[in-house]
Structure 1
Amino acid sequence: MRIVRNGVLLVLAVPALAAGAYLLAAAVLSRLAVNDQPAAREGVEVFVCSNGIHTDLVLPAVTEAVDWTIDLPGGNFPGAGPEASHRSFGWGDRAFYLETRQWSDLRPATALSALFGRGPSVMHVYALHRPAGSPDCGVLVLDEGQYGALAAFVRRSFRRDGAGKVMPLPGSGYGTTDLFYEAVGHYSPVETCNEWTGKALRAAGVTVGAWTPFEGGVMRWLR
């Protein structure tokens, strides 16, 4: 019985130790600055917005460097109207995004699939107005080279067909101002939606943590 008891305690202890190590690594690495560069004085204004759990990049729909309406035309977002000056980008697990529209919809199988990175990913895109002044958003100014690098990272995150076009999932949006697209990669505890945002910022040379699996690890550098 002692052997059985010790075995049970070990089985219970290993996940707890792993979770503790994960949280400690996230706390330390999200505070370890990468790309310690001063912010640009002039350039393209971009936003990073949070809902308290998940972060999105919010970029101008059209600039001299990048025209997102080529890949993401306004017709894909019929409820947004011509005044929608920006596009938001959020990457994540397909099943979790599409099957968990509210927390009450969350199923254990969906959570486990996302946790172990077995399913495909999607890009969630909104057409929206410039979110200046929102307490949920941080703002950055990127020079031409930085913004080009950021846009290139986002573009590479979309899965594309043989003609190089993005692959929308018709009817997948939560409303008429958003839509989901096929994306590359697999969600996991290491490659989270917030780490995708962190990677995009690091690709642009923005000062951010070395690893940002949680929302707070991203937003602490922007607020």
Structure 2
Amino acid sequence: MTGRSRALPIRLLVALGVAGLLLLALLSYRRPGDPQLYPVAPGAPAVTVYVVDNGMHTNLAVPAEALKAHGGPSAEALAQIAPSPWVLVGWGDARFYVESGMSPARALDALRALFAPGNRSVVMLEPIRTSPDKLYSSGVVKLRLSPEGFERLAQRLDRSFALRDGAPQGGPVRGWGEAHFFESAETFSYLHLCNHWTAELLNAAGLPVRPGVSTLPAGLVHDLKTRAGALDTAAPAR
């Protein structure tokens, strides 16, 4: 083996080592929480929210009355959906997120959503009439936010809406079922996925989050359970 051929495996090992260190740094990076907002002291006033994980995507279930009391663009969007005690809030690519099913064309569209620059996005609001911990058989974790923490979360949600004359605008389609989509001011890519967005709202409420781990729903939920004290409260499967 020549000196040049021996150098190739060494360079490969160095490259793999550097890549591994970068990946470790990405997964370890943590956005600190705000101890003035979270956790809530036992017996103190709190607003209960739920993270709902369907395996590929996360939503937040929040009390409709608390969102209405907050006012702003979020409350204006809420007024456009059917009344309900809870509202499911989500975010995603303006094309891929609003469609359903799987096909070769949609698989290609997923690649476009991940890697094309400047993808438009939408905010989704869906009314739900049953408490999330009773509605879903799995993938639900409970969080108790301080009232100020919920206010910060709602303010971050407000900033997601694209406003025209100060009001949120309906998205490219009305939605599926009772869900409504609204144009978002943010862009979607592999660097800013739906689960990153969920983590950003929770971070605004005072919770510590790790963006790298939050890329996948399971990572976000695990991080919330281990670092933020989230409780798994889904009802037994029926």
Normalised-by-shorter TM-score class: 0.7 to 0.9
Matches of 2:22 and 2:52 in 1, distance apart?
24
Q: What is the TM-score when the length of structure 1 is the normalising length? A: 0.76
Determine if contact 2:81/2:125 at 8 Å carries over to the other structure.
no
Q: CA deviation at 1:113?
A: 2.1
Q: 1:25 to 1:104 in 2, by over 3 A?
A: farther
User: Paired residue for 1:216?
Assistant: 218
Letter in 1 for 2:33: N
Residue identity matched to 1:112? L
- The alpha-carbon deviation at position 137 of structure 1 amounts to 1.2
Q: How much has 1:58 moved relative to structure 2?
A: 1.0
Structure 2 CA distance, aligned partners of 1:118 and 1:142?
33
- 8 Å contact from structure 2 (residues 31, 203) kept in 1: no
After superposition, what is the alpha-carbon deviation per residue over 1:105-130, rounded to whole angstroms, capped at 9, x for unaligned? 75344123211243210011111122
Q: What are structure 1's unaligned runs of at least 5 residues?
A: 1-15
Distance in 2 (alpha carbons) for counterparts of 1:105 and 1:62: 41
User: What secondary structure does 2:202 align onto?
Assistant: helix
Alpha-carbon distance between aligned partners in 2 of 1:155 and 1:18, rounded to the nearest angstrom: 39
Instruction: Tell me what 2:32 maps to.
Output: 34
| Aligned counterparts of 1:172 and 1:106: Cα–Cα separation in 2 | 22
Judge conservation of contact 1:93–1:120 (CA < 8 Å) in 2.
yes
TM-score (norm 2): 0.71
Q: How many Å apart are 1:17 and its aligned residue?
A: 10
Q: Match for 1:71: what amino acid?
A: A
| Counterpart-to-counterpart distance in 1, 2:104 and 2:174 | 16
Alpha-carbon spacing, 1:202–1:69, altered in 2? closer, same or farther (3 Å): closer
1:189 counterpart SS class: coil
Q: Which amino acid aligns with 1:45?
A: T
1:202-213 map, 5 Å: 202-211=203-212, 212-213=214-215
Does the Cα contact within 8 Å between 2:141 and 2:221 map onto a contact in 1?
yes
Shift of the 96–22 alpha-carbon distance from structure 1 to 2, 3 Å rule, reads farther
Specify the alignment match of 1:5 in structure 2.
none
Question: Match of 2:10?
Answer: none
Rounded Cα–Cα distance in structure 1 between residues aligned with 2:208 and 2:107: 36
Residue 61 (structure 2) pairs with residue 58 (structure 1): yes
Q: Is the aligned partner of 1:71 residue 2:101?
A: no
**Structure 1 stretches (4+) deviating beyond 6 angstroms?**
16-23
Is 1:189 matched with 2:186? no
Q: Quote how far apart the aligned CAs of 1:152 are.
A: 0.3
- Kindly state the Cα deviation for residue 201 of structure 1 after the two structures are TM-superposed: 0.8
Structure 2 counterpart SS, 1:209: coil
> Which residue is equivalent to 1:13?
none
Q: What SS class does the counterpart of residue 218 from structure 2 fall into?
A: helix
Percent identical among aligned pairs is 30
Q: Identify the residue that residue 47 of structure 2 maps to in structure 1.
A: 44
For 1:124, the equivalent position in structure 2 comes to 124
> Which of 130, 147, 150 is the matching residue for 2:150?
147
Is this contact kept in 2: 1:34–1:210, CA < 8 A?
no
Query: Could you tell me how far apart the structure 1 residues matched to 2:127 and 2:191 are?
Result: 29
Give yes or no for contact 1:62–1:69 (8 Å, CA) kept in 2: no
- Per-residue CA deviations over 1:1-32 (Å, capped at 9, x if unaligned) read xxxxxxxxxxxxxxx99997886555434xx4
